Amino acid sequence: MQNGHAPKPIMPFEQAKMDDFPLMGGKCASLARMIAAGVAVPPGFAVLTSAYEEFLAQSGLAGQISRILSSIDVGDVSAEARKADEIQRLIAAAKLPTGIEAAIRGAYLALSPAGDMPVAVRSSATAEDMPDASFAGQQDTYLWVVGADAVVAKVKSCWGSLFNARAILYREHNHAGQLDVLMAVGVQKMVNAASAGVAMTLDPLTGDRSKIVIDSAFGLGEPVVSGEITPDNFVVEKVMLQVTRRRIAAKDFELVADRAGARTFERPIEGSRRMQSSLTDAQVIAVAKLAKALEKTMGCPQDVEWAFDADLPEGENLLALQSRPETVWSRKPPAARKTYATGIEGVLGSLLSPH
């Protein structure tokens, strides 16, 4: 409840305030924080967790889902998959409350008055992107969704993905209540990515915080994030912003948009372009600067998804798509992290160490 009234089901990213963040899930709250900090982010809106809760309550699904989950044998993979499918079918078939559906349609038309803007519809669970447990990637994302009807359907699909077999098992192993995790959904203008990828503001292999490590490829970044392709890899020294290492991979395909078909597809990369760098040196440094700024804004090492939009002019085409706390090295005890300190931090650590 906010100001004594039920919260609205929709929140445009650029209008979100800190009090709204708990209703937006990790991914959407991160986008709103980035916009507030002046970072270039594709426009969009969040379908808040309050909408998801109202949907479950009015449809009567909360009780049904609870009963199904209580009967799941986590050790029986096939039975778990059948139960997960049953829950997802129930969610897909249930009718949305009229007010929520109208709000989603209205927000999409505000973003796209002609009703034809391609958007990404992304799950944003309340448990993801937390420093102490990485729930990222457990739920679904839908790319190149066009039209209000499709957006409404994909919002429900995102809610349903909260109960896919993998997510159920993950929550069980991490002792997270199956119905305690809530789902917001982000709806965001689709980026026509010339190249995209991820940037870590530390070395993911060693925890070295003096480095920024960038993986990139041509086209959309999902194959990089999912590990479907071997990306180009760049290591940038964080203080001086100099490229200290690069590895250009043979890139077999790029994920690109089929505008007419309102979908994405894998396009083979031909000839010498397979071994061409997906980023210029200037672009590598631009991504490093973005990641470094986000680390400063967010206050901890970050895992940043980014893209260069082919539809935007040079100098304005680098967009942040997501920034979440790095979860591997940040969870290690200080003694383990100190081993990898470099520069003046490493020198002081050696001098002050009692061992």
Q: What is the pLDDT of residues 278-309, one digit of tens each?
A: 999 999 999 999 999 999 998 999 999 999 99
Which pLDDT belongs to residue 172?
A: 77
Which pLDDT belongs to residue 4?
A: 44
* Residue 354 clears pLDDT 50, i.e. is over it: no
Do residues 168 and 199 both lie within one domain? no
The number of domains in the chain is 2
Do residues 80 and 156 both lie within one domain? yes
Do residues 181 and 201 both lie within one domain? no
In a domain, 233, yes or no: yes
Return the exposure string of 235-254: e unless at least 16 CB atoms fall within 10 Å of the residue's CB, then b: bbbbeeeebeeeeebebebb
* Residue 339 clears pLDDT 50, i.e. is over it: no
% of residues, the chain, pLDDT over 70: 87
Q: What is the DSSP string of 46-77?
A: EE-HHHHHHHHHHHTHHHHHHHHHHT--TT-H
- Token duo for residue 127: 């448990």
* Residue 148 clears pLDDT 50, i.e. is over it: yes
- State the pLDDT confidence band at 181, using cuts at 50, 70 and 90: confident
In a domain, 352, yes or no: no
Task: Specify the higher pLDDT residue, 74 or 88.
Answer: 88
Do residues 28 and 114 both lie within one domain? yes
Which pLDDT belongs to residue 330?
A: 62
Choosing from 164, 189, 214, the residue where a domain stops is 189
Do residues 119 and 216 both lie within one domain? no
Do residues 30 and 168 both lie within one domain? yes
In a domain, 348, yes or no: no
Q: What is the DSSP string of 267-310?
A: EEPPGGGGGS-SS-HHHHHHHHHHHHHHHHHHTS-EEEEEEEET
For residue 51, give its domain range: 10-189
* Residue 228 clears pLDDT 90, i.e. is over it: yes
Do residues 78 and 220 both lie within one domain? no
Do residues 14 and 112 both lie within one domain? yes
> Mean pLDDT, to the nearest integer, of 136-164?
88
Going through the chain in order, the beta strands assigned E by DSSP cover 10-12, 44-47, 119-125, 141-145, 183-189, 193-200, 211-218, 232-237, 242-247, 253-258, 263-268, 302-309, 318-325
* Residue 341 clears pLDDT 80, i.e. is over it: no
In a domain, 343, yes or no: no
* Residue 210 clears pLDDT 80, i.e. is over it: yes
The CATH number of residue 165's host domain is 3.30.1490.20
Which pLDDT belongs to residue 252?
A: 93
% of residues, the chain, pLDDT over 90: 70
Which pLDDT belongs to residue 333?
A: 55
pLDDT tens digit sequence for 37-59: 999 999 999 999 999 999 999 99
- State the pLDDT confidence band at 213, using cuts at 50, 70 and 90: very high
* Residue 347 clears pLDDT 60, i.e. is over it: no
* Residue 264 clears pLDDT 70, i.e. is over it: yes
> Mean pLDDT, to the nearest integer, of 86-97?
95
- State the pLDDT confidence band at 332, using cuts at 50, 70 and 90: low
Choosing from 165, 189, 213, the residue where a domain stops is 189
Choosing from 169, 189, 209, the residue where a domain stops is 189
Instruction: Please state, in angstroms and rounded to a whole number, the distance separating the CA atoms of residues 150 and 87.
Output: 21
> Mean pLDDT, to the nearest integer, of 117-128?
86
Which pLDDT belongs to residue 6?
A: 56
Do residues 77 and 89 both lie within one domain? yes
Which pLDDT belongs to residue 299?
A: 92
The CATH number of residue 322's host domain is 3.30.470.20
* Residue 64 clears pLDDT 90, i.e. is over it: yes
How far is C-alpha 40 from the chain's CA centre?
16
- State the pLDDT confidence band at 239, using cuts at 50, 70 and 90: very high
Lowest mean pLDDT among 30-34, 180-184, 197-201: 180-184
In a domain, 18, yes or no: yes
> Mean pLDDT, to the nearest integer, of 105-130?
87
In a domain, 182, yes or no: yes
Which pLDDT belongs to residue 145?
A: 93
Do residues 241 and 115 both lie within one domain? no
Task: Specify the higher pLDDT residue, 237 or 81.
Answer: 237
Do residues 156 and 57 both lie within one domain? yes
In a domain, 100, yes or no: yes
Of 240, 135, 132, 148, the residue nearest 180 (C-alpha): 135
* Residue 253 clears pLDDT 60, i.e. is over it: yes
Do residues 144 and 34 both lie within one domain? yes
- State the pLDDT confidence band at 326, using cuts at 50, 70 and 90: confident
Long-range CB pairs of 131-137, under 8 A, 24+ apart, other chains included: 131/300, 131/325, 131/327, 131/330, 131/331, 132/327, 132/331, 133/174, 133/176, 133/327, 134/327, 135/26, 135/167, 135/170, 135/171, 135/174, 135/176, 135/181, 136/26, 136/27, 136/324, 137/225
In a domain, 237, yes or no: yes
